[in-house]
Amino acid sequence: MQSAMFLAFQPNFGSMEKSASGYPTSEEKREKMKRTIIKDWKTRLSYFLQNSSTPGKPKANKKGKQQAFIRPSPEEALLWSETFDELLANKYGLAAFRAFLKSEFCEENIEFWLACEDFKKTKSPQKLTSKARKIYTDFIEKEAPKEINIDFQTKTMIAQNIEEATTGCFTTAQKRVYSLMENNSYPRFLESEFYQDLCKKPQITREPQAT
């Protein structure tokens, strides 16, 4: 009886250690959020990773419409490791790279780069000005929702340039962000699970011969 009472009132030190302050630490929150984001993006990309009997050719859905993205062949995916431009030029590669940056909490870099690519193609002066201001408020100004990591001097130069917007307003910033992705995020992407899965050749299973 006494031993039973002792066990009943014995403190649970494990749970006490786990929640010493009653709240998870900032590191625990960050890791949990990262796992959630990775799981979410894996789900979004899952149809890309489905086995295809004809890699490199689009598959039609039930309504006869082709999917926007298709699974590349392992040989095609391997080309992305040659240059960063090869990766960005491929729609599937770009989608997978964006998913990877999302998991690393730095997707603003590729979003800014893509916004600049679209901006440079703009012909109308009115649209050029409105797009320039939007890019500035989204990515450049202090405490912007998707603020990129560039120096103060470049930010000041951009603020002056957008008053009379030209297609070269963001050239310096775009080059720096490109270099940051190429030298940091891109090598990590090539080692990621996303990329390694694409480079694997499908295994051919052989049925055992009847004896």
Residue 1 lies in a domain: no
Its sign, for the CA torsion 112, 175, 196, 95, is positive
Residue 101 lies in a domain: yes
Residue 60 lies in a domain: no
Q: What is the CATH number of the domain that holds 192?
A: 1.10.167.10
Angle between helices 108-120 and 125-135 (to 10 degrees): 170
* CB distance 58 to 38 below 8 Å: no
pLDDT at 71: 72
pLDDT at 118: 96
Higher pLDDT, 201 or 14: 201
pLDDT at 171 over 70: yes
Length of the chain measured in residues: 211
Place of tokens 């050719």: 57
pLDDT band for position 73 (cuts 50, 70, 90): confident
Rounded Cα–Cα distance for residues 62 and 47 (Å): 15
Rounded Cα–Cα distance for residues 135 and 121 (Å): 14
Residue 51 lies in a domain: no
Residue 57 lies in a domain: no
Residue 41 lies in a domain: no
Find the domain containing 161 and state its range: 71-199
- Please, which residues have CB within 8 angstroms of residue 126's CB and are 6 or more apart in sequence? none
pLDDT at 185: 96
pLDDT band for position 127 (cuts 50, 70, 90): very high
pLDDT band for position 3 (cuts 50, 70, 90): very low
pLDDT at 130 over 90: yes
pLDDT at 83 over 80: yes
Buried b (16+ CB within 10 A) or exposed e, 102-118: bbbebbbbbbbbebbee
The count of C-alpha atoms lying within 13 angstroms of the C-alpha of 195, restricted to the half-sphere facing its C-beta, is 20
Among the residue ranges 31-35, 78-82, 126-130, 148-152, the one predicted with the least confidence is: 31-35
Residue 78 DSSP symbol? H
pLDDT at 26 over 80: no
Name the domain count of the chain.
1
Locate all alpha helices (DSSP H) within 45-151, ordered by sequence: 74-79, 84-89, 91-103, 108-120, 125-135
pLDDT at 201: 81
Residue 66 lies in a domain: no
Residue 4 lies in a domain: no
Q: What is the pTM of this model?
A: 0.68
